[in-house]
Structure formats: C-alpha cells, structure tokens
Structure 1
Amino acid sequence: MKIVVLDGFALNPGDLSWKDLEKLGECQIYERTRPEEIHSRIENAEAVITNKAILDEKLIDRLPKLKYIGVTATGYNVVDVQAAVRKGIVVTNIPAYSTDSVAQLVFSHILNVANRVEMHANSVKSGDWATNPDFAFWRSPQMELSGKTLGIVGFGRIGRKVAQIGLAFGMKVIFHNRSKVADNVAETRQTNLEEVFAESDVVSINCPLTAENSEFVNEQLLRKMKPTAILVNTGRGGLINEADLANSLNSGIIAAACLDVLSAEPPKPENPMLSAQNCFITPHIAWATIEARQRLMNITVENLHCFISGKLQNVVK
C-alpha cells in the first residue's frame, strides 16, 4: 500500500518515530504540504494521512486510487467526508487521545489569569521584590477558584475532565450540551447556554465546530457574562466571533479571554485578538504534550492497520 503523510511535522517534529506506520506499506512522509502541492503528492496514494491539509470534494474526485484518509486529529472538518463516502473512501479520526492534555491546558490558562505566576516571577527577576519595602506584593488581583462557578460548553470527554478538575478545586460546575446528558458527572448541572454564560465566573468552550454553532460566541452572548468573568476556548477558533470578543475585552464587558485556537492558524497580523486587552493566546498546543502525541501516533497506526485488516475503527461518516 502506498501511504502519504501530508503534514507530519506537528505530530512528530522529531521526538517520535514513524517506524510502525512504515511497516504498513510504502510510506512517504512530508513535514508540510502547501495547498498547491497536495494533488501531485497524493495522486497515486492509496492511503493519505492528514492533520490540517485540506482534502475537499474537487481534490477527492481527482484521486482514483485513494481508498483511505486518516485524520490525525479529533476534528475532521479538513476532509469533505460526504465526497469521500460517495467514492467509497474510508475516513477515520482520532477521537480520544488528548483529553487529559487539553483539560490540563484549560486550567493552565485559568490559573494564569487567577494568579499571574509568570508575570510575578518576571517581576521578582527584574528586582521588584528586592527593592520592595514589604514582605509581599502583587501586580494584579489574586483570585481563588474555590466557590466560583465554572461553566462548560460541550460535555464530551474533555468537558467532563474539565468538570472533574473544577470540582477538585471546589468550583461549582454547570454545563450546556446540545443533547441531554443522562450520566452527569456528580455535582454538576446541565442548563441552557444563556445561563452558562450569565452565571459562570469561568466559561470553558469544549465543543466541536459545526455549521450550526459557527461564531455562536458573539456580542449578544458575551454581554450576558459577568464583567469579572474569564472565557477559555480550546475547541475551535471558528466558535467565536473574534471582532465581538476583542470589543468585549477592550471595553471591559468581560475580564479576560484565554485562547488556544483562532479562526485562522497561524493568525494574520491584523487578527483583533492579537492586540485585545487581557487576551492570553497559546499557539494551539492543548493537544501537543508528548504523551498525547504518542497516543495520536499509536491510534493513527491502529486505524490504518484495522482498515487493511478489514476491521474498521474510528470511522467518520
């Protein structure tokens, strides 16, 4: 089987191994692939592995040998799945490799805003403590999470893990999910989206991006939040109207935003989030702990091996 990896660098910048994938066939691995290079690189491929390289209907229709597309991510919006299905091409994803990693970054962001550890550490290094007349000082208000309300949008594996961590901090947890959740995490409560935004001190967005919820976080919803509230997004950048969020931050409608995803990645210099007040952005790293990437690599290989063996797993339709 001829296998092509279109954009392997993000998954494996050199600290993991491709050897198990290479055992499955003739394997060509590209670190990155520009849109105009995709067709020529995969026109003879039977299996394609992609993370962010887009395989749309027009491209898929020009790939007569293609039998399998493996998306090395949970979200699979980079592939026109219906076009693939019409041609009998199997599409798989990786549904549960980064739950702990993403939830960990959610709270890394929350704790950063609550305590501003790096800012205070840098202040000490610059000599501010040594020259301070008092035994303690702080450059920003310190916030205790215990007793605060954590609102979660999307109550899948990641949302549930975020809830568990919030409860461990003594937070009250409410959540919104598009369908009724029968097996709630203990001490959590399902409610509507408006209440999650209005009642929460911290809102964590952990849902996938769909055509129905694109930019659902807009001015109207942001105005329901407390002026002291923090918004965290580790889902997809397209869930937020970035102009509305920037305006809300700059005008003090909410206190802070913590983003690991943006509408376009990498962002253009004019993206309003880059200059918004109290906006803390990380470069889409929630999934990228070495442990999570190793799981991702393992499941990528398992998915393709199962396809070759005729025992499909993690198929999306």
Structure 2
Amino acid sequence: MGIIGYGNTGSSFAKLLQPFEVTVLAHDKFKKDFGNSYVKEVTLEQVLEEAEVISFNVPLTAETHHMLNLDFLNKLRQQPIILSACRGKVIHTADLIIGLKEEKISGVCLDVLENEKLGSYTIDERQQLDELLSFSNVIVTPHIAGYSHEAFLKMATVLLGKLGF
C-alpha cells in the first residue's frame, strides 16, 4: 500500500491498515522520520515503483494540482489501484481516463471529483464523468467523510477548545 501524504488522514489510514499486515510505503514531502514497525518511509519514486494500491492524502496546492497526470501514470511500475479522498483537483480526470484505457492502473476509487460541484458541470466534464463511470473498475462515492457523527463531534470539540471551553 502506497500512501502519498502522511498528515492526519494518511497516518490515520495507515493505522487502519496495521491489522491487515500489509506493507505500507508512505511518502510525505514535508514530514520526516515518521516510519515505524509497519510504515516504511520512502520516496515518491519508491511508491510509484512498488505500490499495488496508491492512496492520495495530500492538500490541494499549486504543487499537488493535477499530481496524478500522464507523467505520474507513466512512471508506475505496477498497475495499482488508485484511491483518492483528498481534493478532486489533485487528480487530472482526463489523464486518469487515459490511464484506465491504457491499463496503467487496475482500478480507481474516488471520494471526490475534479469539479466537486456536480450542478456546475460543463458538457465536457459531464462526458468525462459518464466515461469514468462506464468502467467496471471505478467506484465514485459522495464526498461526505466529514459528515459522520464522529467527525461532527470532533469538529465541535476542537471548536470549543479554541474558544476556551
């Protein structure tokens, strides 16, 4: 399992994987010395070469905008499954579709799309979504991870803490 971005989400995901005894390869450009008994701190190149599943857990910045693009896909040595629960613009949808067609990746699980507002889709974006959903190895879920009872409780607790309560 390759994890790109080892902040709160990436490290929490790694903890969930521990009981499955998978090899976790984690890369974070800014965080260092986080490896432990089940997480191996690696370069991005090692993730691209070795991971059978790659999870994107990075914030959207100028540097991560369209991080998954044709160049990224062409560097893959395996045919990984791609997971993304971060901002949609980290994944370049048109290039992702090419990667699926050319079998550079085995499948895709997206919790968010490049344009996160379905009601504002252009004709081209709608066609891309329809094409993406036509693949049997693609799963798209609504971006609602922050709407669980636990997430609401944590947000309220953090807010109250910041207000001094």
- TM-score bracket for the superposition, by shorter chain length: 0.7 to 0.9
Say which one has the larger Rg.
1
Select the residue among 260, 270, 277 that pairs with 2:126: 270
Give 1:210's aligned amino acid.
T
Query: What is the CA-CA distance between 1:184 and the residue it aligns to?
Result: 2.1
Select the residue among 50, 54, 75 that pairs with 1:203: 54
What is the aligned partner in structure 2 of residue 44 from structure 1?
none
Give 2:65's aligned amino acid.
S
By percentage of residues, which structure has more helix? Answer: 2
What is the aligned partner in structure 1 of residue 80 from structure 2?
229
Contact 1:246 1:273 in 2 (8 A): no
Give 2:80's aligned amino acid.
A
Mapped partners of 1:293, 1:159: distance in 2: 20
Contact 1:175 1:191 in 2 (8 A): yes
Across the aligned residues of Structure 1 and Structure 2, the Cα RMSD in angstroms comes to 2.1
What is the aligned partner in structure 2 of residue 187 from structure 1?
38
TM-score by length of 1: 0.46
Query: What is the CA-CA distance between 1:266 and the residue it aligns to?
Result: 2.4
- Moved beyond 6 Å, runs of 4+: none
Identity %: 31
Specify whether residues 275 and 227 from structure 1 end up closer, same or farther in structure 2 by C-alpha distance, changes over 3 A only.
farther
Pair 1:286 & 2:145 matched: yes
Aligned length in residues: 157
Pair 1:175 & 2:31 matched: no
Specify whether residues 263 and 207 from structure 1 end up closer, same or farther in structure 2 by C-alpha distance, changes over 3 A only.
same
TM-score by length of 2: 0.83
Contact 2:58 2:64 in 1 (8 A): no
Structure 2: state its 5+ residue gaps: none
Query: What is the CA-CA distance between 1:162 and the residue it aligns to?
Result: 1.5
What is the aligned partner in structure 1 of residue 11 from structure 2?
160
Contact 1:201 1:228 in 2 (8 A): yes
Pair 1:258 & 2:112 matched: no
What is the aligned partner in structure 2 of residue 296 from structure 1?
155
Specify whether residues 168 and 250 from structure 1 end up closer, same or farther in structure 2 by C-alpha distance, changes over 3 A only.
same
Mapped partners of 2:158, 2:52: distance in 1: 36
